[in-house]
A and B are shown apart, each in its own frame.
Chain A
Amino acid sequence: MKTESTLRYVLRLTLTLLVITSVVAVALAGVNSVTAPRIAQQQAEKTLQAIQAVLPGGGESIPFQDDTGMVSQVYQGEQGYAVQVAPPGFKGEIVMMVGVDNQGAVLGISIISHSETAGLGDIAAADSAAGEAFRGQFAGASGNIAVTKDGGGIDAITNATITSRAVCAGVSAALECVANLG
């Protein structure tokens, strides 16, 4: 093995790694500049679909006041409001759209993204009969939104009480936000 001074040795290792990380960074920046607008567009479309699902006719974004810290957007349409809320679920935030009519009752809910347990909590967002039955309970609801265990009128998803409570909390936050709009 040929001898190499300590300085040269350290420099060689550092520079090699620097070159590799720089090349990877430049490549990622390139890919990101192509995909970022498309990803933003996908998300915008998803949000738009969720608004359409809970508020027939859609709506325009309006300013709002939020005391719960869960509301991220409010859209106003002819029939009422669509409120985007993100209550903390069992694993991370459940981003969902809640439709509220002009009388302050829930029109419907639509879950945009979540990371709840597969087979249990994710039923809340699933297209299955059970999922639709769970979400359907919220239509027309107003006042105190809670699962039956907490004295409310919503039947929780079996083995997914935390997810069900989170959805209730989100709907409550949306109703409160709309009530504050006057």
Chain B
Amino acid sequence: MNLKKQLYEGLLTKNPVTVQLLGMCSTMAITTSLFNGLGMGAAVTIILTCSNILISALRKFIPNEIRIAAYVTIIAGFVTIVDLAIQAFLPELSTSLGVFIPLIVVNCIILGRAEAFASKNTVLASTLDGIFQGIGYTVALTIVCVIRELLGSGTFGGGLLNGGEGIRVIPQQYPAMLLVMPVGGFLVLGCVIAGSQWLMKHLEMKNKKKEAAK
């Protein structure tokens, strides 16, 4: 029951990107190809889950007064490990995500979940929270990526399919460059947030009707 609720919250009602509006910096900056979105999503999910596990395991050991310093140290540790691993084993991803991997340290999603969830809940619940919030972030990021890439560069699956070129959907001269620029990031994110709000309202209405019918 709790599992389903946490998944639903991570994906929709408490989605880190579209509802909590956390991690905007990375959302704006790297969502220009499918490869970037999935890579960043995976990196954040791994770091978020690891730091959630460790922080909730240590929640009785860390004194309240220094908790932020302790959390940031733990998060920075995991981020650096992931950063080094990506540089060593996935150099292409490291080239395209550049400085945004080290910047996960100050990504509010991780510190936000540590403070709001992991520091108050059991290790198991925090693990699930990390995974589901991470999936929610990845899904939102991927949707923004696909839209921006399709309309901005005219391709699908850039950096991943068709030898890294991506599958061309719109001929080269037509795509709107604007969408690849930061402005386009804001525009697309706004539309995605509106879409998720509509979906939430829609599902809520459906539930109410169901209850009324009972």
Contacts and interface: CB of A to CB of B under 8 A. Distances in A.
B32 interface: yes
Contacts of A119: 177, 180-181
A16 B88 CA distance: 32
B95 A113 contact: yes
Interface in A21-68: 21, 24, 27-28, 31-32, 34-35, 38-39, 42, 46
Contact of B61 (A16, A34, A35): A16
B98 interface: yes
Contacts of B89: 38
A157 B180 CA distance: 17
Nearest to A128: B172
Nearest to B65: A13
Interface string B33-62: 000000000000000000000000010011
Nearest to B82: A31
Contacts of A31: 80-81, 84-85
A12 B85 contact: no
Contacts of B76: 24
Interface string B79-115: 0110011011101000100110000000000000000
Nearest to B76: A24
Interface string A6-24: 0000001100110011001
Interface stretch (B4-12, B66-74, B199-207): B66-74
A35 B84 contact: yes
Interface of B: 29, 32, 58, 61-63, 65-66, 69-70, 73-74, 76-77, 80-81, 84-85, 87-89, 91, 95, 98-99, 177, 180-181
Interface of A: 12-13, 16-17, 20-21, 24, 27-28, 31-32, 34-35, 38-39, 42, 46, 113, 115, 118-119
A-B residue pairs, 6 tightest by C-beta = A24-B77, A35-B88, A38-B88, A35-B84, A31-B81, A119-B180
